[in-house]
Structure 1
Amino acid sequence: MITFENLVVRFGEFTALPDFSLQIEEGEFFTLLGPSGCGKSTALRTLAGFTEPASGRVLVDGKDVTSLPSDQRGIGMVFQNYALFPSMSVRENIAFGLKVARRPKAEIDERVRAIASEVALTPAQLDKGVAELSGGQQQRVAIARALVMRPRILLLDEPLSNLDAQLRGQLRIQLKELQQQFGITSIYVTHDQDEAMSMSDRIAVLNQGRVEQVGTPQEIYERSATEFVCTFIGSVNRLRDESVQTLASYPGTPVQAGRSSYARVERFVLQDRGQPSEGLHVLDGVVERVDYHGYFTQYAVRVQGDPLTVRVPYHPSAATFVVGDEVAVGIAPRDVLQYERTQSVVTA
């Protein structure tokens, strides 16, 4: 178990983490998610021992490691730029930590061979220079170098951000499989929502150094605890006050008038005008743009003078619309997310 306890981290006059508390369970794949500059990498580096907090504590299995040197914490780390040694072979890069630890040569050779096999690096690739490898292969080398030390905790700081979209998708799956295979507590830092949602057991959403919400991907998405989480995760439309008042008048509705209200773009129903719409609040609109993505089509619809985004998943029988079509857009009260009004400006 990892515990951040009232952690304060400052860089000069700037406070990166004003009062950071978080608990991560053993064996979890846990993600710190948030926009650039929110403090997620600072939290990771403080756990690793690379950044010293002004106050607060970091505990691992109940032991205070706040002042412990980084090489004594049993933590492996994979950096965004991989931090590989360009003058060394792949084999030498993976073996580096074991050599520093003065392990016997036979043990080093066996552990390097075994971990290389686990991360799909071939014997031939072990004797190449790292510059000869693709970005995905270099990423595997960085992971192997961390795992060969058999750490209790693995930290990954945006390790896929330098790769193309297709390779990122492949390596997400492999990373998660490796984590499950080794059972290592893993903390992953990213600003990519898709990575966080698809890989994590739990997610902490950070904003300006503070934890907005901790939960499973489903909890974060479907029951966003704050307005920031709601608007940061996925795509939403902000509802007009008139629509909120109408939804609040439905019998048994959870919707309350006078609150900031949103609905995710895929929760709207798009249909021809005049079709049955039981249980939905329906507004007439006109299609202004159609974006086809294969597994879904996204429509920009002008409703009561305002733009509204509606995402329709692919289905062979799904109705399709073109620019200029007059349509009806419906939303159910149960799909509305509501928050106390704030002074923050939120994009619809």
Structure 2
Amino acid sequence: MIEIKNLKKVYNGVTVVNVPSFEIKRGESIGLIGNNGAGKTTLFRMILDLIRPDEGEVLSKGQVVAGGEEWKNYTASYLDEGFLIDYLTPEEYLYFIGGLHGQKKAQVDEYLLTLTEFFNGEIIRKGKYIRDLSKGNQCKVGVGACLLQKPDLLMLDEPFANIDPSTQFRLKNILKQQNKQNGVTTIVSSHDLNHVTDVCERILLMEKGRIIKDIATSSSTLAELEEYFGVGQTVSNTTFEFDREENH
């Protein structure tokens, strides 16, 4: 579904993303992990055509993303509160997003009922603008808007960071359901190793802009990642290692 070819991004002489190639197949659940500055968000933004690569390209369903339009019809993403319209109420924003995808108000209301537990009585009909919500509740609105679109590809950057434990649990169940029952391709970036290994069947480990490990999630993956980050391994600026570990 997603194919990357010779992708590179450089800022002020520093290469922040350097990915010769990788592919995400339709229906896969992908976890993207790495320390701050590893290049995760930059990679996300290039996949979403929010920034342009200096070299290479991203393809979605075989079509080049940069300058394209078709991929937007089946892709939903939430990276941060900048994706929201903060002077609207959550209801206004969700009706707006639904309208963009041909949904009437009644259809949006019907779908939002399925998110009642996830919203936990904190989002709808509270008389607040999005800008007045906590970061955690803003994240709920953003994720809800993504789900409303019924995408083929769902991309979330650090969705567990600002939400409470109960909502984290509910979000994990939602992501599993979207992937397993609805066949949605999910890409989740997170610093929380527990969450990402629980939700994702494949883990991409980034370091200094490179994907250095591509791991099929198994019972030993969490311990392997904890050991990696605990030891603090680094990657040479001149060496690229792409290690696909198939663990079953």
Q: TM-score, normalised by structure 2?
A: 0.77
Counterpart CA distance in 1 for 2:201 and 2:136 is 24
Structure 2 residue 33 is matched with structure 1 residue 33: yes
Larger strand fraction of residues: 1
Segments of 5+ residues of structure 2 without an aligned counterpart are 232-248
Counterpart CA distance in 2 for 1:212 and 1:164 is 31
| Matched letter for residue 54 of structure 1 | D
Asked if 1 retains the 8 angstrom alpha-carbon contact of 2:81 and 2:142, the reply is no
Question: Can you list the C-alpha shifts for 1:211-237, whole angstroms capped at 9, x where unaligned?
Answer: 11112222872896xxxx67435x57x
Deviates more, 1:35-44 or 1:130-139: 130-139
Asked if 2 retains the 8 angstrom alpha-carbon contact of 1:84 and 1:142, the reply is yes
Which residue of structure 2 aligns with residue 192 of structure 1?
A: 192
Which residue of structure 2 aligns with residue 55 of structure 1?
A: 55
Specify the SS of the correspondent of 2:51: coil
Counterpart CA distance in 2 for 1:14 and 1:70 is 32
Asked if 2 retains the 8 angstrom alpha-carbon contact of 1:20 and 1:211, the reply is no
Which residue of structure 2 aligns with residue 221 of structure 1?
A: 221
Deviates more, 1:193-202 or 1:8-17: 8-17
Task: Say what the alpha-carbon RMSD is for the aligned residues.
Answer: 3.2
Specify the SS of the correspondent of 1:119: helix
**How far did residue 112 of structure 1 move?**
1.3
| Matched-pair identity in % | 24
| Matched letter for residue 185 of structure 1 | T
| Matched letter for residue 12 of structure 1 | N
Counterpart CA distance in 1 for 2:143 and 2:28 is 17
* The one of 110, 117, 133 aligned to 1:114: 110
Asked if 2 retains the 8 angstrom alpha-carbon contact of 1:91 and 1:112, the reply is no
Q: Structure 1 residues 208 and 124, CA, compared in 2 at 3 Å: closer, same or farther?
A: closer
**How far did residue 207 of structure 1 move?**
0.8
Asked if 2 retains the 8 angstrom alpha-carbon contact of 1:115 and 1:144, the reply is no
Question: Can you list the C-alpha shifts for 1:117-158, whole angstroms capped at 9, x where unaligned?
Answer: 222258995333246766655433211212223332111010
Asked if 2 retains the 8 angstrom alpha-carbon contact of 1:59 and 1:65, the reply is yes
| Matched letter for residue 197 of structure 1 | T
1:220-259 alignment, distance < 5 Å: 221=221, 231-232=227-228
| Matched letter for residue 127 of structure 1 | R
Asked if 2 retains the 8 angstrom alpha-carbon contact of 1:205 and 1:214, the reply is yes
Which residue of structure 2 aligns with residue 284 of structure 1?
A: none
Asked if 1 retains the 8 angstrom alpha-carbon contact of 2:78 and 2:156, the reply is yes
**How far did residue 183 of structure 1 move?**
2.3
Structure 2 residue 134 is matched with structure 1 residue 126: no
1:126-165 alignment, distance < 5 Å: 126-128=124-126, 129=128, 130=130, 137-165=137-165
Which residue of structure 2 aligns with residue 204 of structure 1?
A: 204
1:162-177 alignment, distance < 5 Å: 162-165=162-165, 167-177=167-177
| Matched letter for residue 125 of structure 2 | D
**Structure with more relative contact order (C-alpha pairs < 8 Å, separation 6 or more):** 2
Q: Structure 1 residues 15 and 220, CA, compared in 2 at 3 Å: closer, same or farther?
A: farther
Asked if 2 retains the 8 angstrom alpha-carbon contact of 1:81 and 1:159, the reply is no
**How far did residue 195 of structure 1 move?**
1.5
Q: Structure 1 residues 164 and 70, CA, compared in 2 at 3 Å: closer, same or farther?
A: farther
Q: TM-score, normalised by structure 1?
A: 0.57
Segments of 5+ residues of structure 1 without an aligned counterpart are 237-348
| Matched letter for residue 108 of structure 1 | K
**How far did residue 54 of structure 1 move?**
0.9
Rg larger in structure: 1
Question: Can you list the C-alpha shifts for 1:22-50, whole angstroms capped at 9, x where unaligned?
Answer: 21111111111111111111111111110
Q: Structure 1 residues 222 and 169, CA, compared in 2 at 3 Å: closer, same or farther?
A: closer
**How far did residue 208 of structure 1 move?**
0.7
**How far did residue 65 of structure 1 move?**
2.1
Asked if 2 retains the 8 angstrom alpha-carbon contact of 1:136 and 1:163, the reply is yes
